[in-house]
Amino acid sequence: MAKKSINSLPSTTVSPLIGKRRSILFWITLITIICGFLIGLKPDNLFSNNSLKLATEFFKASISPAIDYENPVEGTEPFLKVVVESILITLRFAILVMSVSVPIGAILAFLSTTAWWPENINSTTKKSLLRTLHIIARSWIAFARSIHELIWGIIFITAMGLSTEAAIVAVTIPFSGILAKIYAEIFEEQCKETQSMFRAIGAGYFVSFLVGIIPSALPDIISYTFYRLECALRAAAVFGFVGIETIGYKIKLSSDEFHYQEVWTYLYALFLTIALLEWWGGKIRVSLNSKHV
Amino acid sequence: MTKPDQKKEAFVFDKVQHCYSGVPALEKIDLKINEGEKIAIVGPSGSGKTTLLNMLNASIQPTNGRIEILGKDSNLYSPKELKALRSNISLIPQNLALVNSFRVWQNVITGSIGDYSFPKLIKNLFAPSEKKLLEIHSILERVGIEEKLYSVTSTLSGGQKQRVAVARSIFQSPSTILADEPVSSVDPARAASLVKILLKVAEEEEATLLMSLHNLDLAIKHFPRIIGIRNGNIHFDQSPDQISQRQLEELYELKESEILQDG
């Protein structure tokens, strides 16, 4: 067989892969530099004497996390009990947020997806109603998730006062929006053949969707819900910095007093909780995926 | 005048044409199918077999011409009548359309999805009566996988899944069974076994059976009537002994544009 030479390939003016990639890389670098310049970044701030000293102290504390208060005060509860309690409070906050966000997100996802819609809608009234609900749901989802939970938090805490309830409402709004968007995308990505078959043997649109789409979407939905539970846990911790008594509140108190070993104990406890959630979620994912081969 | 023992016409195609975005998939089809007939539909990929099957349960309406289903124009069925009609016509698609995470009995129950109200469906899917389970078990016995009653469907082999799809079809108690290339992904022995099961089920249930197939040998060996479709037209509609070798060769002949030139 005759050997092929490069000249036998179709001619091109630029190397199709390298040329395009270089151009994209160039533009990304340029935009990054311009953004940094406009935002007033000064990288040397990171390496000033004071910040380096603080950073060294902080990271040094990571190898010896506290098992008791660094500055014990008589009459206070044991430190490790406080750590466990603050984790439980944070977990309760996250679970409450998800308990409200998941059903709202599921309803919004159902309204915002076209995955269950009839192929041909003959009635104008039905068509208008579906489209209106679809637009309202999509708009609300876009609005709810475009504002970060901390900003919702500031709004609600300003309006309702500093309370756990206000914080839960603040986190629930964007979380239900994000869950709705992802759930809707998961529904739309599923293979429609089972759903179509159920339609072809006389099932209604809702039932075909429920039996033809939901079971195959379930592993992805559960996997994403677990991820959002982790996010809710982190959000709960962050809300501690604005005064809600989650683990973030304790971290802030210890940090303000430069008790970095205590800070690391709280951080490790948070990490351990998230790791446990990840492990549990993983086990559920594996068990569900094994049923969807 | 109709003789008393003469079978009624289940489906009548009158110059039926169907186009997808202006491109014809079926062209002026005239066809009559009697109740209880067993028909194999053969033809190359893209010839219009699936479109034809989908017209039989009114999932697809003709662009031109008319189809009579059980004596009524398919366009004149009200949504309620259409639902009733479809719940009486079972479908076994090529990919079987089983819910893999369901147990076998749950998949079989979905055969009657068109007859159930939403609460009844939920009850049957999650808390079926003992009577229902016994009924499903006896159906699974008929298709030879009764020991798989409680198995998760994804754990079954391809051949077993096909039998679950047939069991689902039996549970529906249909007057017509449509099977769209149900044996395209299995070896010849399993393909023949499934075709035999479907024919037996159709015979026992006195149902009309229409099965699209790629395997000509299976069609010729097992079906009393074979319809050959090519480029959206009926190329032949005969009993196997009347079909000539020439007709079969022409059916699968490649167009000039489809032939890959070597060198």
Residue-wise pLDDT for A175-194, tens only, equals 999 999 999 999 999 988 99
3-state SS string over chain A? Answer: CCCCCHHHCCCCCCCHHHHHHHHHHHHHHHHHHHHHHHHCCCHHHHHCHHHHHHHHHHHHHCCCCCCCCCCCCCCCCCHHHHHHHHHHHHHHHHHHHHHHHHHHHHHHHHHHCCCCCCCCCCCHHHHHHHHHHHHHHHHHHHHHHHCCHHHHHHHHHHHHCCCHHHHHHHHHHHHHHHHHHHHHHHHHHCCCHHHHHHHHCCCCHHHHHHHHCHHHHHHHHHHHHHHHHHHHHHHHHHHHHHCCCCHHHHHHHHHHCCCHHHHHHHHHHHHHHHHHHHHHHHHHHHHHHCCCC
CB contact under 8 A, B86 and A204: no
The percent of residues above 90 in pLDDT, for chain A, comes to: 68
CB contact under 8 A, A198 and B111: no
Span of A216-220, B217-221, B249-253 with lowest mean pLDDT: B249-253
Tens of pLDDT, residues A255-282? 999 999 999 999 999 999 999 998 998 8
Q: What is the pLDDT of residue A239?
A: 94
Residue A121: pLDDT over 50? yes
B13-41 mean pLDDT: 92
Residue B36: pLDDT over 50? yes
B129-135 mean pLDDT: 94
* Element spanning B124, H or E: helix B118-126
- Nearest chain B Cα to A219, which residue? B101
Residues 16-75 of A with CB under 8 A from B: none
B230-238 mean pLDDT: 92
Contact by Cβ (8 Å): A221, A186 = yes
Tens of pLDDT, residues A80-100? 999 999 999 999 999 999 999
Handedness of CA A59, A64, A66, A69 (dihedral sign): negative
C-alpha count within 13 angstroms, C-beta hemisphere, residue A139: 6
E strand residue ranges, B85-223: 89-92, 176-180, 208-213
CB contact under 8 A, A202 and B114: yes
- Nearest chain B Cα to A192, which residue? B97
Chain B CB contacts of A198 under 8 Å are 97, 110, 113-114
β-pairing, B72-73 with B89-92? unpaired
Give the SS3 label for residue B91. strand
Whether B68 has its CB under 8 Å from any CB of chain A: the answer is no
Span of A9-13, A15-19, A37-41, B184-188 with lowest mean pLDDT: A15-19
Chain B CB contacts of A194 under 8 Å are 97-99
> B243 to chain A, minimum CA–CA distance in Å?
32
Rounded-to-integer distance, Cα A237 and Cα A167, Å: 11
| Nearest Cβ partner for B114 among A193, A203, A291 | A203
CA-CA distances (angstroms) from residue B23 to B13, B17, B89, B229? 20, 10, 28, 16
Residue B255: pLDDT over 70? no
CB contact under 8 A, A293 and B93: no
Rounded-to-integer distance, Cα B69 and Cα B84, Å: 12
Residue A16: pLDDT over 60? no
- In this prediction the ipTM stands at 0.88
Cα B200 from chain centroid? 14
The pLDDT-based confidence of A118 (bands split at 50, 70, 90) is confident
Tens of pLDDT, residues A124-152? 888 899 999 999 999 999 999 999 999 99
List the structure tokens of A180.
């709705």
The pLDDT-based confidence of B263 (bands split at 50, 70, 90) is very low
> A211 to chain B, minimum CA–CA distance in Å?
8
> A198 to chain B, minimum CA–CA distance in Å?
7
CA-wise closest residue to B247 among B221, B224, B226: B226
Whether B176 has its CB under 8 Å from any CB of chain A: the answer is no
| Nearest Cβ partner for A218 among B57, B101, B155 | B101
Q: What is the pLDDT of residue B261?
A: 46
B143-149 mean pLDDT: 92
Which residues have a Cβ under 8 Å from the Cβ of A52 and sit 6 or more positions away? Answer: none
CA-wise closest residue to B85 among B114, B122, B119: B114
The mean pLDDT of chain B is: 89
- For tokens 């202006």, the residue is B22
Tens of pLDDT, residues A146-180? 999 999 999 999 999 999 999 999 999 999 999 99
CB contact under 8 A, B100 and A293: yes
Rounded-to-integer distance, Cα B251 and Cα B169, Å: 30
Q: What is the pLDDT of residue B65?
A: 93
Contact by Cβ (8 Å): B238, B225 = yes
A36-50 mean pLDDT: 83
Which residues have a Cβ under 8 Å from the Cβ of B177 and sit 6 or more positions away? Answer: B89, B90, B92, B169, B198, B201, B202, B207, B208, B209, B210, B211
| Nearest Cβ partner for A211 among B57, B59, B99 | B99
CB contact under 8 A, B97 and A201: no
Chain B CB contacts of A216 under 8 Å are 99-101
Tens of pLDDT, residues B42-100? 999 888 999 999 999 999 999 999 999 998 999 999 989 999 999 999 999 988 999 99
- For tokens 């009850």, the residue is B123
CB contact under 8 A, B85 and A202: yes
- Nearest chain A Cα to B158, which residue? A293
Cα B41 from chain centroid? 10
Contact by Cβ (8 Å): B253, B239 = no
Pick the CATH number of A93-239 from 3.30.930.10, 1.10.3720.10, 1.25.40.10, 3.30.460.20: 1.10.3720.10
B107-122 mean pLDDT: 92
Whether B97 has its CB under 8 Å from any CB of chain A: the answer is yes
Q: How many residues can be counted in chain A? A: 293
List the structure tokens of B115.
């007859």
> A256 to chain B, minimum CA–CA distance in Å?
52
- Determine the angle formed by the axes of helices B188-205 and B130-143, rounding to 10 degrees: 130
CB contact under 8 A, B93 and A197: yes
Q: What is the pLDDT of residue B87?
A: 93
Q: What is the pLDDT of residue A180?
A: 97
